[in-house]
Amino acid sequence: MPRGTDYVRDADRTLEETYEEPMTLAAYVDRIFENPSIASHASKYLLEAIEAAGTRTVVEEGEEKERYRFFDDPHNDGEHAILGNTEVLNGFVDDLRSVAAGRAKDEKIIWFEGPTATGKSELKRCLVNGLREYSKTPDGRRYTVEWNVTTADAGERGLSYGGDATAADEQNWYESPVQAHPLSVFPEDVRADLLAQLNDELDDHVPVQVDAQLDPFSREAYDYLEERYRREGEDELFSAITDEDHLRVKNYVVDVGQGVGVLHSEDDGRPKERLVGSWMHGMLQELDSRGRKNPQAFSYDGVLSQGNGVLTIVEDAAQHADLLQKLLNVPDEQSVKLDKGIGMDVDSQLLIISNPDLEAQLNQHADRNGMDPLKALKRRLDKHRFGYLTNLSLETELIRRELTGETAVWEADSYDELADRIREPVRVTVKDRDGETRVQEFAPHAIEAAALYAVVTRLDEENLPNGLDLVDKALIYDQGYLQEGDSRREKEEFDFDDNGTDGDHGVPVTYTRDTLAELLQTDRDRHHADLPVEDIVMPRDVLNAMVEGLADAPVFSAGERSEFENRVVPVKNYVYDQQESDVIEAIMHDKRVDEETVAEYVEHVYAWETDEPLYNDRGERVEPDPLKMKLFEVEHLGRFSEAEYEGNLPRESVRNFRREKVITSLNRHAWEHRDADFAVEDVDLTAIPVIKTVLESHDWDDVERTFEDFDPRQWDDPPSGTETAAVKDDTIETLVSLFGYSEASAELTSRHVMGQVSYRWD
């Protein structure tokens, strides 16, 4: 069977699952008592769409937070995910919950503000994507009404755009152009009783509210049918009007133009046109309206008309500041006028998006005190501020997205997983001016360097705790802690200013992206011609380019350029430390202490300290061996010398070390797992900082002690047959096979590290 047939069949199945056959009004009422969420008013519907996607735990600014997955754009493979700003988004959802419940904030217009490239445009796309996909689910179905008022009486006016009334076929059904809620068809008192019963059965603190009257287009149809059947003496007038030959309830997929209205910065026209639409004068002449304006002749293409039922977004709101004052009464009165004589009820969650320039416009009369003409508007705006990312992992993820088009949102069970993603190399295919394509590599830590530098430029250095620099602060914000040798300090131990300016300004991701893209197009011939691949962008290339580009970038002031230039040094130092660590660990990879040896040491230390008998996993009693403990501490830990022991017995410094660094961690682990049977062999040895250091890290002393004839000064071109040559071969192989380096980036990185080490090698 041709493959095209399979794809067509899949498309048919998708649409079958998305759309339903139209139903009667009575069937719809039965349906909402089975599933009340499909009747939700606009703000409640948006809230339910967000909550339906669930939550996940993230760490931002050093604190664990629950994040709504909706903002990860899960239905679109994360393409328009909003990275970071979780606390701001959570505040938005909290306010939305208050609006939906009618508590205090229902007169507010939600306002997202922030500098350029902070994710505001992604918010709009994420909302549209999420609502569209949610409306395709059974719980998210959205419904409106459509009318057919054709009549067999020749010459009578029908609800059509100029055509003659014909038989009651599909071409004579006209959908409400503003997604009117099906319950708005009912008289007010009947609707109130229906909703009261529905909400009594609804186990939800946010009741369903439908206060809107029929839209003018639908009201025209309703009034026409009412007049017709009243003249005929129909006893059950409402049943006749809403008979399935005249009224159907149909579901629709929420999208821009139907349930979501978006006013873009380039949209123009008079305020009325932008808000609700305009009169079509040619249609007014065709429609027999007996001397009055017929709502059938209205375009309904304004932002409120499109967004009725769900969401109205004013994008780049500073370009539509004149319109904002026209929106003032919409949240209060939930209505807007087509003209002086025809009004339309509106149920839409209002949301505006702007750069900081809108706030400057709003504050232009602030010095007038109580006479500020914009005071009423400002009172109704509920501000949520997006800031630049201050998490290293998030900024790394964002830069990778900008360079490669990757969309999957990073999730990890531990920070170690994120750390691996942060340091990874990135390989990008680029095309030369002559049309040739080649793969260029950002070496390991290159994207990390760009991200860390960007984050450091965004952090407030006022009131920085003693002993910390901005790189330390960035690491604490990303990890939630700072590892200092054997000790780990949680964020709570540091006194950071919660009212600081973190994320208010700094290097935007667009600047980073453009700088890195330019590096990709730059010939790499300044690197070593003897390398297997020359197209390598190193971390120092990235940092140098970012600093050099500040002078010509128009987005930065002179003060910002000076400030940002001064912040690159600690970033260079940190990135070098990461490269150095990679090289040392690659050198020592086959010389690591095995976990059995470490576990045996921990058992002996625990047995040495406790008065209770200790048994290993084989049921054997562990007797502390002073010699084994001493050898481990001297040879593997490298913490003590022979002078700190009397024979094999430890002096006070060693005893304190065992109690404070090993026993305390074991006891903490035992306390955290006190509901289970505790045994030393059950301990995750990497949970003990000093042991983690033994298992996972080394230093140059370890290298020198292990390879006595090693000489870093020979690294670039070591003589064959020397220990240095053998170490280099093994190191390059390990960097490539286990650390993600290419052969070229491993060579360049190790040369850079050895060049620094040579100066201090004894």
Whether pLDDT at 508 is above 50: yes
Q: How far apart are the first and last CA of the chain?
A: 74
Q: Tokens 């020749």 belong to which residue? A: 154
**Strand order, beta sheet including 381-385:** 255-256, 259-263, 311-314, 349-354, 109-113, 381-385
Domains and CATH numbers, the chain: 37-156+167-384 (3.40.50.300), 392-589 (no CATH)
- pLDDT in the model for residue 161: 41
Q: Rg for the chain (alpha carbons), in Å?
A: 34
> 649: which 2 tokens?
């017995």
- pLDDT in the model for residue 699: 83
Q: Who has greater pLDDT, 379 or 262?
A: 262
- Judge contact between 97 and 91, C-beta under 8 A: no
Confidence bin at 283 (pLDDT 50/70/90): confident
User: pLDDT tens-digit profile of 563-604?
Assistant: 999 999 999 999 999 999 999 999 988 877 777 787 788 888
- pLDDT in the model for residue 231: 86
> 554: which 2 tokens?
């128009």
What mean pLDDT, rounded, does the chain reach?
85
Whether pLDDT at 159 is above 60: no
- pLDDT in the model for residue 757: 92
The mean per-residue pLDDT over the stretch 300-304 comes to: 94
The mean per-residue pLDDT over the stretch 700-708 comes to: 86
Beta strands of 316-454 (E only): which ranges? 335-337, 343-345, 349-354, 381-385, 426-431, 437-442
Q: How many CB atoms lie within 10 A of CB 597?
A: 15
Q: Tokens 């040369």 belong to which residue? A: 751
- Judge contact between 403 and 396, C-beta under 8 A: no
Whether pLDDT at 154 is above 60: no
Confidence bin at 166 (pLDDT 50/70/90): very low
- pLDDT in the model for residue 677: 53
DSSP one-letter code for 663: I
User: pLDDT tens-digit profile of 660-673?
Assistant: 877 876 676 555 55
Confidence bin at 6 (pLDDT 50/70/90): low
Q: How many residues does the chain have?
A: 762
Residues forming beta bridges with residue 142, ordered by sequence position: 252
For 101, residues 6+ apart whose C-beta sits below 8 A from its C-beta are 205, 206, 207
Distance of alpha carbon 724 from alpha carbon 709, whole angstroms: 7
**DSSP string spanning 242-258?**
TSTTTEEEEEE--EETB
- pLDDT in the model for residue 316: 87
Residues forming beta bridges with residue 488, ordered by sequence position: 483
- Judge contact between 451 and 399, C-beta under 8 A: yes
- Judge contact between 460 and 501, C-beta under 8 A: yes
Q: How far is CA 351 from CA 261, 355, 438, in A?
A: 10, 14, 45
Whether pLDDT at 525 is above 50: no
Distance of alpha carbon 689 from alpha carbon 674, whole angstroms: 20
Three-point CA angle 696, 699, 704, nearest 5° = 125
- pLDDT in the model for residue 160: 47
User: pLDDT tens-digit profile of 629-647?
Assistant: 898 888 777 778 888 998 8
Whether pLDDT at 756 is above 90: yes
Burial of 762 per CB tally in 10 Å (0-12, 13-18, 19+): exposed
For 285, residues 6+ apart whose C-beta sits below 8 A from its C-beta are none
DSSP, collapsed to helix, strand or coil, labels residue 673 as coil
For 300, residues 6+ apart whose C-beta sits below 8 A from its C-beta are 177, 178, 217, 276, 277, 306
For 481, residues 6+ apart whose C-beta sits below 8 A from its C-beta are 62, 488, 489, 490, 491
Answering whether pTM is above 0.75, one says yes
Half-sphere exposure of 625 (CA within 13 A, CB side): 12
Confidence bin at 341 (pLDDT 50/70/90): confident
Half-sphere exposure of 692 (CA within 13 A, CB side): 16
Three-class SS of 597-655: HHHHHHHHHHHHHCCCCCECCCCCECCCCHHHHHHHHHHHCCCCCHHHEECCEECHHHH
- pLDDT in the model for residue 637: 75
Distance of alpha carbon 74 from alpha carbon 81, whole angstroms: 8
DSSP one-letter code for 546: H
